[in-house]
Amino acid sequence: MIKAPLVAGMVLCSLALSALVAAPPTAEAAISYYNCVSKPPYQWCDGRANGSFDGLNSWDYNEGWNPGSGTFGVCERVYRPATGGQLPDSSCGTNWIGHYYGDVQCNCYEAEVLHEASGNRNINGYADSDFL
């Protein structure tokens, strides 16, 4: 009689622990600084190579900038690799660009930047998943 509740409790604890470990990623606040070193022009940088890739998240804000000298174009987007789509209104500016996408819910996006210089350049990005 005593063992039944004990076993039930252990099962419940086990299930709870499994749920905690195996739970899908939630849209918790995250800040990402990412960069690419000596990146060729017109190639999206998400920090995977020579950077700090922070995976998929519900990025509300994305920013790109030229960390070095000179002047060149910088573009940004928030990209959904599963579909090949992206959030609307991706943008380009000179040396620095910022974009607030609103309250993004899907935990399924990469924040990316690229540069338009004539040769390989460093490019930096900054993204925030909880901007409001």
Partner 1 sequence: MRRVILIAVLALAAVAGTALATGGGDREHPPTLAQGAELATAIPQDAKDAAATLATVRDQGDVIPEHLAEPLRRRAAFGANPDLSRRTVAQTTQSAYIVAGHDHVCLVLTNTETAGWNIICPTTQDLTAGRAGPLTVGLPDGALAVAGLVPDGIDTVHVSDGTDQTIPVENNTYYRVFPADQTPRTLTYDGPDGPVDWDLTNPHELPPAEP
Phi, psi dihedral angles at 118 (to 5 degrees): -80, -20
Rule CB under 8 A: say whether 50 interacts with partner 1. no
- How many Cβ atoms from other residues are within 10 Å of residue 33's Cβ? 13
Q: Assess contact for 57 and 29: CB atoms under 8 A.
A: no
Q: Does 68 bind partner 1 (CB under 8 A)?
A: yes
By CB under 8 A, residue 109 contacts partner 1: no
Nearest approach, Cβ of residue 98 and partner 1 (Å): 4
* DSSP helix, strand, coil percent of the chain (3-state; round to 5): 15, 40, 45
Q: Using CB under 8 A as the criterion, which residues of the chain lie in contact with partner 1 when the complex forms?
A: 28-33, 35, 42-44, 46, 48, 52, 60-61, 63, 65-69, 71, 73, 75, 77, 79, 81, 84, 87-103, 112, 114, 116, 122, 124, 126, 128, 131-132
